[in-house]
Structure 1
């Protein structure tokens, strides 16, 4: 990594002000190189080696990527893990039945035997990361084609990853940064036996629902509890009753000492993606075309789901996670569009682009290298502009418009291979796997509901996409059904053998090639994929211009401002961010405090609104003020808080950590006024919303009666002076602030 980049990073971190957000999601290997004295001045009392180390236990060893879509943190010597309720939502749903609806009622395991396995869920611990730029970048010189460049990167990355995995049980991959200018190797240890330990009722874990989503003030108990298991040898193993709770290299102590305005905060996690270097051309396309199209399609899908879910508890459980996922990003894109306009992000981008162009044109060498970067990007967006709406529809309203479409396409490819196989053991095994996949799909899918989704998305697709960009079946059949796509849905679902478990199972048992080729749902799926592939080809030249232009633009920006903290966009790799507890002013005359309390839960209570129901037991505890050791100094129970940390999707479940390396909260959301933040960081108003760890423990203890889980954790009950943004270096934190040695609990299964 360039020295100027490290210097910029150091200056950015040590100059943090308690009233401004602190931009940047930093790779942990860089933090290790920073000066400990400067970090102490801002309130961080851990040494670099305690934060990130390859050879010794460090903070990074307590942080996991959960399922590749969220973050979790280990909080006990027996593999106990905290994350968000919405991260554990699908596992909670899968363990719920109409008779034992833990999604609605909550669940707390009082012993290891009661913990619930979750097929397919895994967590990954980062073992190490390594800069491999010098092994890749020199071999890309002279390659002009983006497809050839990507192929060469993939070839080299695979070789490096394979070498890292050789002789180990680790997984490895190489990630690209700055649009293919730097490359890092990441080595992980993946554990696949992850069991559900506890969850609050959804009335707590999802309090406020879609209404409060992305909003502050907030009063949501967005957490769930899992445990990671290993084989008896301590290594990852598939689920077995013989497995034992894994013994982490590090776990987080939990502070219940309380928070104060200005306190130092650090997040560690796996942010999914940001687009901070997006140009004004990309922002304009998002505002004008892509975002509104996504919102329109998802709005229709949510409306179709709501009725069926309300009418049937079984359907509600089947679709709870899917509905939540659709709704989350439905509101996200509404908010992002609004705030891109409100915060004048296009204007901000254009001013930077004008500065960049002036800098590039001022020197002949720079002009030759960077002078055409922005014009290439502009031309690329113009070439892709015509396919944005249809491209969004082919995915949102087509391939994933109804679950049956993607299922059919994938199943059809496997059936084709199956029919071509010679009789034998392999064919019998393939047939069994096809039957298993069929059973799993229909267990998770309510066909009448799926048909409604199909009809409504087909209708929108036909109305809003030009006919020459529609799939072939839609062009052929539009006149026949006279725009009545519900009738088309009736026909397809009644005729296709892919839409019924028994007929599909029977077909797998006795396949018929003629019947296979004429199946209506297969035709729909094939035609949609044909459109998808065709648009990818049409957009190839434009995307190549955008990619090349962006690579030059980012490289030039770093050269133009060598003292600025240019960090790479998030890409699902471990990052840390630094900030402070801080309030903010969203608009004139309004100031939001940095925390909310249980009083706010009660103020919003509405027994007639599913989003704002308060459980009877929680009301009893509130009325009795029975908060135990989790109450704040003023006697109130704090629920959520905000800080200036820089996070995005994938950071859900990330620990919020104080200066001593103690857990003080679990991050779960951003704020509405800064929803343009994935594209342009909003320094004065961008906030991370977290659930206060005291509320988490209160719910586990007082609501759930799971004292066994509290006993597993190392609770820190007093604030150290080092928490309070010290102005000068202080003595090193005592060792008991790190993981105290304690005898592990005996395995119970």
Structure 2
């Protein structure tokens, strides 16, 4: 424990050097990187950014529905996030009669705000380092299994005690690959309502064509509101609830922007993997990513033409298509960026340096001397299981939808007596009735059949046949014909009829359904042939990675170290600036409404515009939202971001909202693995464009009146 104490203290006292914009920093450690932020132009005090004793910027930042970020912008609980983060809510409230995806939605008062009872937002109340408590009772003589069990027991006890003491949720997460642990105390609010959203022609302007690229002209925002009970506490949806009163909300900066301005992104980045070994990164670049790209490309080639042919299908598949396409295009950009940067060569150079440093001291040689060699060997021996897992996820959870829908009936069909004996049968039937309605609201059988017929042979060809269900490689086509001809689970009315007056006989019949049989076969095969080997591989890899990262922290104490993103609250900082990622090319740091019009193509699914937008442009009705006569739309900055930062506020030097982060440039997507300060840029929609759309286009000036505009 003394050695651990010395190591962690050295790590937490580390003062980072000024390095472009790399890193996603833990707010609770703001004193450690505050001086560097000041060199970029920050004017705030540390306690104004993060504090547990008084209100601070952190109290205006929430994790939005578990995946994105949002920010409070009024004392009445008004939230801003991305259009693509709110897309699911917009889609679920849309219909042919009320096509909010196409026409947008603007509540004219609070009574018109639309309830989203399935959504929640999460506030972080405190982040506290608990490494010693988590590792208490572990010894060097323990096996890894014994140590893991002790750590798990400690974490469970600490989380329970903290939740009971403070009345909030408590979650402990590892940082620096398990070398440090933090406890996050959080509070969820569950009454979230949709207040406003631009039409997709604004909120998704550029569509898949422009996704992940610059220059960008996308008004990627939506507006929600948090509601609470009469005591401002969390409560389920009720008409009696009132708008939430935040401890802090962000003022809106109407100030002119210029290149070099300080920028800070405060949010919940999802995942980065900066510590991948050369062997691991090579596997991703040469095998895993190309296969997943091809599988998604195949599905998109079926979905997109169908969406363009029918408004009904467009509404049904809008959210699903966006989700599939987002990762697909990101991965293409990642591979291109990593190749351009010669990432594998850089990894090899770093690993040579690491191994050389490990020879300096005997204790370093003993602890870190072979860890990279061990990682490479482990990867080579087990990557067929990692590949099989990735392919199964793509096929089962992203591919033909009937597979995961049908598998949802597995318990009812094959554990009928257990459910009945446990008194859970009626609840399971009720759940499946709701699932049936929700599924078929956004399902087209013809599209799903084409996806099955084109994606399955790809899946079979990529997979190691020994890891597939017996005979699946030979029989998938015949199995598919039987499913689409005979399965009752592919038809809403037939499913509803099955669930009415359900009994043991119906369960036996349901178990014979060909769609359920295939889904159950694929899933059980994965659990038997892939999951155990992958799980063992992952456990060994985590152990080695903990040692490897500890070696980097120990042997290179003057190097800038930041913990990989893990969906916890983080700060990134940089400057508003353009880039020159390719020879002969220089990107300006902002775009204007003129660029929107230059890209305009009537009836093009990515570049059409609403008539009202055109009228406002022709009239030059830009209100007070211009800068030197121009209406900025988007800007770029050198903040290190990743998935989960969508919707994060871009905050200026004085703590005011200047934009909403929504993307990275295509040249930046490799920053999940390797950051390059010359080319990595996050993309934000300018807050003045957001206000213009709300005010002039949406005619919802009552929302502007709620905000605090700083001119």
**TM class by shorter-chain length?**
over 0.9
TM-superposed deviation, 1:423 = 6.8
Deviation, structure 1 residue 388: 4.3
The equivalent of 1:26 in structure 2 is: 25
- 1:273/1:569 contact within 8 Å kept: yes
Alignment of 1:503-514 (within 5 A): 503-508=494-499, 509-512=502-505, 513-514=507-508
Match status 1:550 vs 2:549: no
Correspondence for 1:351 among 349, 361, 368: 349
Question: Are 2:196 and 2:223, in contact at CA under 8 Å, matched by a contact in 1?
Answer: yes
Match of 1:465 among 447, 463, 466: 463
Superposed CA offset, 1:183-233 (max 9, x none): 111111101111111111111111111111111111111111100111122
Distance 2:668 2:423 in 1: 57
CA contact (8 A) 2:129 2:182 kept: yes
2:490 matched to which residue of 1? 499
Alignment of 1:277-292 (within 5 A): 277-292=275-290
Match of 1:47 among 42, 45, 54: 45
**1:3-29 residue CA offsets vs partner (Å, 9 max, x unmatched):** 544554x443xx36xxxx311101110
Deviations 1:351-396 (A, max 9, x none): 1100000011222211111111101110111012233443332221
Partner residue, 2:417: 419
Q: What is the TM-score of this pair, normalised by structure 1?
A: 0.90
Relative distance call for 1:149 and 1:212 in structure 2 (3 A) is farther
CA shift at 1:531, angstroms?
3.0
Checking the alignment, whether the CA contact within 8 Å between 2:50 and 2:58 is kept in structure 1 is yes
Distance, in Å, in 1 between the alignment partners of 2:25 and 2:397 is 35
Distance in 1 between residues matched to 2:108 and 2:31, nearest whole Å: 39
Q: Post-superposition shift, 1:144? A: 6.2
**CA positional deviation for 1:584:** 1.2
Within 5 Å, give how 1:236-315 maps onto structure 2: 236-315=234-313
Sort the Cα spacing of 1:558 and 1:305 in 2 relative to 1 into closer, same or farther, 3 A.
same
1:650 matched to 2:644: yes
Q: CA deviation at 1:304?
A: 1.8
Could you tell me how far apart the structure 2 residues matched to 1:235 and 1:653 are?
24
Q: Match for residue 637 of structure 1? A: 631
Moved more, 659-668 or 461-470: 461-470
Cα pair 2:272 2:565 within 8 Å, conserved? yes
* Aligned counterpart for 2:696 among listed residues 691, 702, 710: 702
Match of 2:175 among 169, 174, 177: 177
Residue of structure 1 aligned with 2:620, choices 617, 621, 625: 625
Give the aligned partner of residue 589 of structure 2: 594
> Which residue, 550, 554, 577 being the options, matches 1:559?
554
The two structures have a TM-score, normalised by structure 2, of 0.95
RMSD in angstroms over aligned alpha carbons?
2.0
Partner SS for 1:639: strand
Sort the Cα spacing of 1:368 and 1:659 in 2 relative to 1 into closer, same or farther, 3 A: same
Deviation at 1:620, TM superposition (A): 2.1
When residues 403 and 693 of structure 1 are mapped into structure 2, their CA distance, relative to the original with a 3 A threshold, is: same
Aligned counterparts of 1:35 and 1:395: Cα–Cα separation in 2: 41
Q: Do the aligned partners of residues 281 and 423 (structure 1) sit closer, same or farther apart at CA in structure 2, a change above 3 Å counting?
A: closer
- Once residues 291 and 416 of structure 2 are traced to their aligned partners in structure 1, the CA distance between those partners, rounded to angstroms, is 38
1:326 offset after TM fit, Å? 0.2
Task: Give secondary structure in 2 for the equivalent of 1:86.
Answer: coil
Pair 1:578 & 2:569 matched: no
Distance 1:689 1:658 in 2: 15
State the partner residue of 1:683: 677
Equivalent in the alignment of 2:215? 217
**CA 214–407 in structure 1, closer or farther in 2 if over 3 Å, else same:** same
Is contact 2:8–2:180 with CA below 8 Å preserved after alignment? no
Counterpart CA distance in 1 for 2:142 and 2:530 is: 22
Q: Do the aligned residues in 1 keep the contact of 2:75 with 2:246 (CA within 8 Å)?
A: yes
SS of aligned partner of 1:331: helix
Q: What is the Cα deviation at residue 432 of structure 1?
A: 2.4
| 1:653-732 equivalences in 2 (<5 Å) | 653-717=647-711
Query: For the residues of structure 2 that align with 1:427 and 1:569, how far apart are their CA atoms?
Result: 43
Residue pairs, 1:429-468, within 5 angstroms: 429-468=427-466
Q: How many residue pairs align between the two structures? A: 701
Look up the SS of the partner of 1:591 in the other structure.
coil
Separation in 2, partners of 1:33, 1:358: 29
**Judging changes above 3 Å, is the alpha-carbon distance between structure 1 residues 23 and 662 closer, same or farther for their aligned structure 2 residues?**
same
Q: Is the contact made by 2:102 and 2:200 (CA closer than 8 Å) also made in structure 1? A: yes
1:107 deviation in Å? 1.2
Contact 1:337 1:676 in 2 (8 A): yes
| 8 Å Cα contact 1:178/1:568 also seen in 2 | yes
For 1:263 and 1:22, the matched residues in 2 are separated by: 13
The 8 Å contact of residues 418 and 430 in structure 1, kept in 2 or not, is answered as no
Counterpart in the other structure of 1:737: none
Cα distance, 1:453 vs structure 2: 2.2
2:586 alignment partner, SS class? strand
* Contact preservation (8 Å) 1:597, 1:640: yes
Give the gaps of 5 or more residues in structure 2: 1-6
**Cα distance in 1, alignment partners of residues 519 and 431 from structure 2:** 21
Q: How many Å separate the matches in 1 of 2:131 and 2:428?
A: 42
Following superposition of structure 1 onto structure 2, how do residues 116-265 of structure 1 map, counting pairs within 5 Å? Answer: 116-142=114-140, 149-166=147-164, 168-265=166-263
Structure 2: how far apart are the matches of 1:29 and 1:511? 56
Give the Å deviation of 1:347: 0.9
Give, in whole Å, the separation in 1 of the partners of 2:436 and 2:10. 55
Contact between 1:376 and 1:546, CA under 8 Å: does it hold in 2? no
Is the CA contact (8 Å cut-off) linking 2:308 and 2:605 kept in structure 1? no
